[in-house]
Chain A
Amino acid sequence: MKPIISIQNLTKTYATGVHALKPINLEIHAGEIFALLGPNGAGKTTLISIICGVVNPSGGVVKVDGNDIIRDYRASRTKIGLVPQELATDTFETVWATVQFSRGLFGKPDNPAHLEKVLRDLSLWEKKDAKIQTLSGGMKRRVMIAKALSHEPKILFLDEPTAGVDVTLRREMWAMVRTLREAGVTIILTTHYIEEAEEMADRIGVISKGELILVEEKSALMTKLGKKQLTLQLQSPLDAIPESLAPYKLELADKGQALVYTFDTQATETGIAALLKRLNELGIDFKDLQTRQSSLEDIFVSLVSNPS
């Protein structure tokens, strides 16, 4: 399938000498939700800003729907909507005036019906004549999304869209993002909230220190790198793990009250049955057991702290 965004050997070195992006190669598929994860300063915003035309690249090629972002900047930018991380709004303008301005900037003729739909979808219609300075932080965030959608983009960049947003609004935004995807819009989001990526993304990219260290289908990533843990709550605490249990690489937790066994879900033999049998032979009784699948957050922390 032809990618809607194609990035080849993209680099960025700021005037300060900071290498924000080492050569990045990435393809985004049409209609997907792609989550870009990374710690602060990893290069997420720089990458997005270059694609959208806000920052100049130092090297490499980026194409949006086949259009080079430098040479064919009009064609590429027309297809993109951007919601930046910072709450940047035209404070003294009304909601209606600011979305109308955004639509005009992208060369689209006035279309009150479309703008009304966007504002209604974002629960902003009642506030259309309100000055932006009178709105709450969450409402301002919605205004920024409305501006990005005002010109009917095919691709929407959301840079930390739910930062500082309450749980209710966050869930509303997730629903809105899904609706947009169903309408055929490709969505690229950066987020600090791993649950956000886990909840919504089709594919996940992890960027660290300017390098894209992983791009994977979310489900494949969870399966491939995810681990499961079995925790056994013991009847009597142990001072140490018996030597004969060494092959299982157990951990003693909860002041000796629990044994933790980490196993690979992909392995043909998880080793659980053998472990339980061995515990029985050693007379180690347990009163409860539970299993836990590692989350995307665990995977992310593991990848960023140890990329190799």
Chain B
Amino acid sequence: MNFLAIRAIYRFELARWFRTLVQSIISPVISTSLYFVVFGSAIGSRMSAIDGVSYGAFIVPGLMMLAILTESISNASFGIYIPKWTGTIYQVLSAPVSAFEVVTGYVGAAATKSICLGVIILATARVFVPYEIAHPIWTIAFLVLTSVTFSLFGFIIGIWADGFEKLQIVPILVITPLTFLGGSFYSISMLPPIWQKITLFNPVVYLVNGFRWSFYGISDVSVGTSLGMTLLFFFVCLGIVWWIFRTGYKLKQ
């Protein structure tokens, strides 16, 4: 195992993150704060509690998940796309590193950034709304698992993309709508019956509900199903990454 190579990639990626701190941290924290101000404090104060949880506190896990999903994808996809774009990917391809080491370095760095961002947003939320965490171990587990899984997903997008536009397509056109429609701002039991069934095809529902359960012990779906769906997506991403390195898809001719 080339631990020094993993460390080199990890440190290099984190250094890039520190250079773009405004974009990586401050920007999502500000936008999430605006959600808390508008939906949590302004509108939320006029809404009734959901399953005994105030509306402001109810949306905390969903908003965290929204930020974590988009930032994981964004960080990991840029992390691998930039060397492809500049041509410096030759360094990684010609180095004595395995696919596992490359993925650990890039995805580990992207997931670290997302976890830090999640913790910062959690602390920021406390300024606007009171909340409690019922199952902190599970909160950490879901936070880490989701960050790693979507960083893997972002890594796949970064390999697949052949232009900056493609890097943005999936987070903007797929992840954000799925997160908004995945119960971040409401309980799916509030939807008409037909939409409740359709919503179950949205994978983000399981991520948000699992995470919310770890906070308040309430969930629209069972926590086991949430964990199972998250793990399933993790292994699907892992399988695609394995295939990418096995075939050299868009990496090696």
Contacts and interface: CB of A to CB of B under 8 A. Distances in A.
Interface string A40-81: 000000000000111110000000000000000111011010
Contact of B253 (A56, A89, A97): A56
A137 interface: no
B48 interface: no
A77 B2 CA distance: 13
Interface residues of A, number: 34
Contacts of B87: 84, 86, 88
Contacts of A88: 86-88, 90
Most buried by B among A52, A88, A107: A107
Interface stretch (B9-17, B27-35, B218-226): B9-17
Q: What is the interface of chain B mostly: helix, strand, loop, or mixed?
A: helix
Nearest to A78: B96
A84 B90 CA distance: 8
Contacts of B16: 92
Contact of B9 (A92, A97, A105, A147): A105
Interface string B87-110: 110111111110000000000000
B4 A80 contact: no
A37 to B, nearest CB: 22
Given A88-B86, A91-B86, A105 B252 contact: no
Contact of B15 (A56, A80, A97, A147): A97
B19 A147 contact: no
Contact of B94 (A56, A80, A103): A80
A77 B93 CA distance: 10
A53 B94 contact: yes
A106 interface: yes
A80 B94 CA distance: 8
Nearest to B247: A56
A77 B98 CA distance: 12
Contacts of B15: 93, 97
A75 B95 CA distance: 10
Interface string B224-253: 000000000000000000000000100011
Closest 7 CB pairs of A and B: A104-B8, A88-B87, A74-B96, A105-B95, A77-B96, A52-B94, A107-B2
Interface of A: 14-15, 52-56, 73-75, 77-78, 80, 82, 84, 86, 88-93, 97, 100-109, 147
Interface of B: 2, 4-5, 7-9, 11-12, 15-16, 19, 86-88, 90-97, 248, 252-253
